[in-house]
Amino acid sequence: MPLAPGATLAERTLQEMPDYEAIWSRLMPVGRPAQPADIDRAALYLLSPESLHFNCQTLVVDGGWTAISPGPG
């Protein structure tokens, strides 16, 4: 089962863009980029019995970004 994380605050993202958290906090519907623990919880859900009927889907963990992001072109 694919897991598709969105903007995630991590050591690499902060090295590449020091203001990453501030920028994505303004853009995200939930008010902040994901933390690695947010992605971890989604993965644990997919491994749990509660996700038994969740299959053949990609679980997008993006704090609502795909709901508001501009489309291509």
Whether 69 is in a domain gets the answer no
pLDDT of residue 40: 96
Q: Which residues of the chain have pLDDT under 50?
A: none
Whether 18 is in a domain gets the answer yes
pLDDT of residue 73: 59
Whether 19 is in a domain gets the answer yes
Going by the DSSP 8-state scheme, the letter that residue 49 receives in this structure is G
For the chain, what is the domain count? 1
pLDDT of residue 64: 93
In the chain, % helix, strand, coil (3-state, to 5) comes to: 45, 10, 45
pTM of the model: 0.81
Whether 24 is in a domain gets the answer yes
Question: What are phi and psi for residue 64, nearest 5 degrees?
Answer: 90, 5
* Domain boundaries, position 32: 3-62
pLDDT of residue 12: 94
Transcribe 21-40 into DSSP letters. Answer: HHHHHHH-TTSSPBPHHHHH
Whether 68 is in a domain gets the answer no
Per the prediction, the chain carries an average pLDDT of 91
